[in-house]
Structure 1
Amino acid sequence: MYQALKPSRSEFLPIRQLTCHLRSWGQPDPVQAPLVLVHGWMDVSASWQFVVDAMAAERWILAPDWRGFGLTKAEGPPPDSYWFPDYMADLDALLDAVVGERPVDLVGHSMGGNVAMIYAGVRPQRIRRLINLEGFGMPETRPSQAPGRYAQWLDEIKALRRGDKALAGYSSPDGVAQRLMKTNPRLPQDKADWLARQWAAPNAQGKWEILGDAAHKVVSAQLFRVDETLELYRRISAPVLSVTASDDSLSIWWKGRFTLAQYRERIQAVPDLHNAVVNDAGHMMHHDQPAELARLIEGFIAQ
């Protein structure tokens, strides 16, 4: 099994009716900006371990579990759906609690990349450097889709209550590891075995459950507005590095409804934009090529 070279520390903080799990490496530095890593949908903060291990320099690194993922838990009953602005508000509250007004270097993957981009447009003064790892956003929508989207949201909440959206359980962490490798064929066995024990945990019956709330599978009630997104991108004052993988995930996911070319056109709205590609990698580039990604991150934030 993979052995972490730089073991993380865990702490739990009261944030916005949450008990927020925060993973950290290194020690606070009065000069160097904190490096904040935010994970994607159905992922966990431990997923950054391979990248952290590959970094050449020691620094203070913070990685939270988003609400409803990993070890972050809501106070009281879990919600029956999640709202995207809450992720941004959670990040804002977490930075208030841990780093105060200090600007941070922010890295976001996938859903976390989307949150990071929006947050940087709303709170530009809090971001020194921003690295977006395939935080693509969503296909463009039209107002005429709103009635159907609201109806879909209501129907999926009912399905969640019936248990139709429950996440699969596994008899052992080996089953979780096999699932991870099936999803990402580039993931080697040793890393899959290690990740499985971070990505899932045994329940009272001994079944290994994914550490993600099934309510995350409920569709958003809100349509994705490209015009709003572009306005937020224009407000970002930090230099931004947009990193994509050599595999074109968008063509697989959206079948032409949203393309890599459209994403690249959108992100041109960022005033200070830089681009990079990680070769021999898919969407989970932090698992596929952690050393190359660590090199890109360290090089960009050192500028």
Structure 2
Amino acid sequence: MYVTRQTSRSEFVAIRQLNYHVRLWGPETAALPPLVLVHGWMDVAASYQFVVDAFGEDFLRSRRIIAPDWRGFGLTAPPVPTDHYFFPDYLADLDQLLDHYAPGTPVDLVGHSMGGNVAMFYAGVRPARIRRLVNLEGFGMPANKPAKAPGRYAQWMDELKALRRGEMALNTYDSAAGVAQRLMKTNPRLSQDKADWLARHWARPNALGQWEILGDAAHKIINAQLFRLDEVLALYEAISAPTLAVEAADDSLGQWWKGRYSLDEYHQRLTHVRDCRIAVVPDAGHMLHHDQPQAVAALIEQFVGDS
């Protein structure tokens, strides 16, 4: 199994009626701004362990690294009862987490996938809170036309009923090894040792001995509201922090959307961010922080270290 170089600490913080689980690395206090790492959909904070292990010793000595499990993921139990999740809640959760861990101090913020989208939105809403911003494959969604709204609301309501009937439950696995195999099937670049390590943070056994994913099935419910590109671009234009948009060479965006949304469109959106550069990680897919943690760590370390 993968052997970690840097040991994390685990704590719970009262945030918005939730016991938020937060993983921390590095010193309790440090002279340089905190580095905040936020994960993607159906992932957990521990997913950043490989990147943290790849940071240089000098960087680690000078930084407090903070990585929360989003609500309903990992060890942050979902609000009870709940049957869906509202995207702006992630912004409010992050806002209060930063109030707790970095009051009055701008942070360096890194987000992957869904977490990258949260990070971009938050940096537009609270530009003074972010010193440097790194977006790892947080592409956003295809633009939608308002005429799709009636169908979207109907789909949302239908999925709520399907969830209640138990039709949207997450798969369970006979063992941690089964979870590891699932992770490797999704990401063929993931090595066996990393998959075995991740499996025990990504899932846990239930009372019957079946391994359950640490993600609430309600996260599978579609967003009731359409993705509104005009609002997104307004948020991008409000970002004041220097921004690094990191992509995997595999073009996962194109693979997902199959012509409905392209990297060229995403790059056009990024022109609305006043100070944005793009980096590409070779030999990597969407889970680039697993595929090439050394390359991702080097990009982060160099970018947030720029004066």
Same fold per TM (> 0.5)?
yes
CA contact (8 A) 2:281 2:288 kept: yes
Q: Which amino acid aligns with 2:46?
A: A
Q: Which amino acid aligns with 1:38?
A: V
Q: Secondary structure at the match of 2:244?
A: strand
Q: Secondary structure at the match of 2:108?
A: strand
CA contact (8 A) 2:72 2:79 kept: no
Residue of structure 1 aligned with 2:71, choices 67, 70, 75 = 67
Task: Indicate the larger mover: 67-76 or 200-209.
Answer: 67-76
Q: Which amino acid aligns with 1:251?
A: G
- After superposition, what is the alpha-carbon deviation per residue over 1:9-66, rounded to whole angstroms, capped at 9, x for unaligned? 0000110011100000011445200000000000000000000000002121000000
Q: Which amino acid aligns with 2:304?
A: I
CA contact (8 A) 1:34 1:104 kept: yes
Pairing 1:134–2:114 present? no
Tell me, in whole angstroms, the C-alpha distance in 2 between the residues paired with 1:124 and 1:75. 28
Pairing 1:175–2:189 present? no
Please show how residues 96-245 of structure 1 align to structure 2 within 5 Å: 96-245=99-248
Tell me, in whole angstroms, the C-alpha distance in 1 between the residues paired with 2:80 and 2:149. 30
CA contact (8 A) 2:30 2:64 kept: no
Where does the alignment leave 5 or more consecutive residues of structure 1 unmatched? none
Tell me, in whole angstroms, the C-alpha distance in 1 between the residues paired with 2:301 and 2:91. 24
CA contact (8 A) 2:120 2:135 kept: yes
Shift of 1:185: 0.2
Aligned to 1:27: 27
Q: Which amino acid aligns with 1:173?
A: A
Residue of structure 2 aligned with 1:76, choices 80, 94, 102 = 80
- After superposition, what is the alpha-carbon deviation per residue over 1:104-126, rounded to whole angstroms, capped at 9, x for unaligned? 00000000000000000000000
- After superposition, what is the alpha-carbon deviation per residue over 1:66-94, rounded to whole angstroms, capped at 9, x for unaligned? 000000013532x1010100000000011
Aligned to 1:43: 43
Tell me, in whole angstroms, the C-alpha distance in 1 between the residues paired with 2:215 and 2:79. 16
Tell me, in whole angstroms, the C-alpha distance in 2 between the residues paired with 1:250 and 1:22. 29
Tell me, in whole angstroms, the C-alpha distance in 2 between the residues paired with 1:19 and 1:218. 23
CA contact (8 A) 1:33 1:102 kept: yes
CA contact (8 A) 1:45 1:70 kept: yes
Q: Secondary structure at the match of 1:73?
A: coil
Q: Secondary structure at the match of 1:274?
A: strand
- Compute the TM-score of the two structures, normalised by the length of structure 1: 0.98
Tell me, in whole angstroms, the C-alpha distance in 1 between the residues paired with 2:78 and 2:287. 27
- After superposition, what is the alpha-carbon deviation per residue over 1:193-243, rounded to whole angstroms, capped at 9, x for unaligned? 000000000011110000000000000001001111001000000000000
Tell me, in whole angstroms, the C-alpha distance in 2 between the residues paired with 1:97 and 1:299. 27
Q: Secondary structure at the match of 2:274?
A: coil
Tell me, in whole angstroms, the C-alpha distance in 1 between the residues paired with 2:40 and 2:122. 15
Aligned to 2:292: 289
Q: Secondary structure at the match of 2:230?
A: helix
* Count of paired positions: 302
- Compute the TM-score of the two structures, normalised by the length of structure 2: 0.97
Runs (4 or more) in structure 1 with deviation over 6 Å come to none
Tell me, in whole angstroms, the C-alpha distance in 1 between the residues paired with 2:188 and 2:116. 23
